[in-house]
Amino acid sequence: MASTDPAHHTPKTARPRRKRRIVLSIIAALVTIPVLFTGISTFHTQWMIGLFQSAFGVVADSTMAPRDPQLEGVQPGGQYRVSNIQYGTEYPNSYFDIVYPDANRAKERPTLVYVHGGGFFFGTKQSGDPLSGAKSNAIFQALTDKGWNIVTMDYALVPGHHYPTPLRQMDQFLAFLTAHADEYGLQMDNVDFFGQSAGAIMISQYFTAATSSEFAKLADVHPTFDVTRVDTLAIDDGPLIYSDMNLYTKFMVGNYIGGTTYLSVEQQKSYNPIPYVNERFPRSFVIGSDSYGDDMVTLTDQLTAHGVANKLVWPRLEDGTKTGHTFVTQMDKLPVAKRTFDQMVDYLDH
């Protein structure tokens, strides 16, 4: 009599085939999910940047109130800070701090404007750029110890505002400083500027727009600050050439410009100031690292070609020392950072 057990009717190869299908399905999922993830995130970059913002508890620009705590008075290092001064009402985060070397705010000292980094999605005028992995207030202490009044500005972040809003805010900020210089004891002639990462991008773009009508039109930014008031710019490792950026940097910069990593040629031209740098651009001290050193070399080549005084410091080119992004803030750990900081101070002092 024939068996009625279904197992006796299953081909011997059926189970191995099912296992192969399961394994192939898992492999397909493992391949497909990252491809879909990358595709979606490169077209909609804020989704990825939003994860970073959530992880760090960042509230980008949902309020017109100050983002930093009120820290007015003498600080632990002996500096005197006046914080959360409002320079504008049009955009969020329109506040700045002044850090004086000591409580004698009437003493005449040079002014240095510091613009923080943070990928245009976090960082503040007090914390600096958390991506640098260093204590930004250490750089403030070091600069005030050299005799500067340090002015640090905040600016609107993504997703609420995109390029070129921070540049327009910089113009409002500098107009406010110029108008209220006496009130705050600030010298607004022979002003030094120090921008790191995103801040380096901003001062490069702003002063290119201030000295090139062609770039001002492309960026749709029309600076009113008198460039003859500038003494020296310190430009620290700003990624400027979009086509040369890795995917991580394109997420940040692309999101800031257009909300995608697939920027048009026109968008890229409006972002990169290097081709428009000319002989009117301010004297510059430029710091490169193994992250964006090539961009900084291209910038200094352009400055030199137009007869603009400049100095490039990229330790790898000098002695082969490897350095990370905005390494100069790690003066308490890295001798190369302290050496570079001293070179910057000497160049700013000239």
308 closest CA partner among 207, 196, 236, 213? 207
- Alpha carbons 30 and 66: distance in angstroms, whole number: 44
pLDDT band at 18 (very low <50, low <70, confident <90, very high): low
CA dihedral 103, 104, 109, 110 (to 10 degrees): 30
pTM above the 0.85 mark? yes
Q: At residue 57, does pLDDT exceed 90?
A: no
pLDDT for position 92: 94
Residue 230 in this model has a pLDDT that exceeds 80: yes
Residue type at position 180: H
Are 249 and 239 spatial neighbours (Cβ–Cβ below 8 Å)? yes
Whether the per-residue pLDDT at 1 is higher than 90: the answer is no
Burial of 42 (0-12, 13-18, 19+ CB in 10 A): middle
Task: Give the pLDDT confidence of 92-109 residue by residue, as tens digits.
Answer: 999 999 999 999 999 999
282 pLDDT more than 90: yes
Residue 316 amino acid letter: R
User: How long, in residues, is the chain?
Assistant: 350
The 3-state secondary structure of 65-126 reads CCCCCCCCEECCCCCEEEEEEECCCCCCCCEEEEEECCCCCCCCCCEEEEECCCCCCCCECC
Contact 211, 227 (CB under 8 A): yes
Sign of CA dihedral 295, 301, 304, 305: negative
pLDDT tens digit sequence for 186-210: 999 999 999 999 999 999 999 999 9
Give the chain's radius of gyration (CA, Å): 25
Burial class from Cβ neighbours inside 10 Å (0-12, 13-18, 19+) for residue 284 reads buried
CA distance between the termini of the chain = 106
Q: Is the pLDDT of residue 65 over 80?
A: yes
Q: What span, in angstroms and rounded, lies between the C-alpha atoms of 61 and 306? A: 39
Instruction: Quick: pLDDT tens for 249-273.
Output: 998 999 999 999 999 999 999 999 9
271: enclosing H helix or E strand:
helix 265-271
CA separation for the pair 133, 142 (Å, rounded): 17
CA quadruple 56, 85, 286, 261: dihedral, nearest 10: 40
Examine the pLDDT at 30 and tell me if it is beyond 80: no
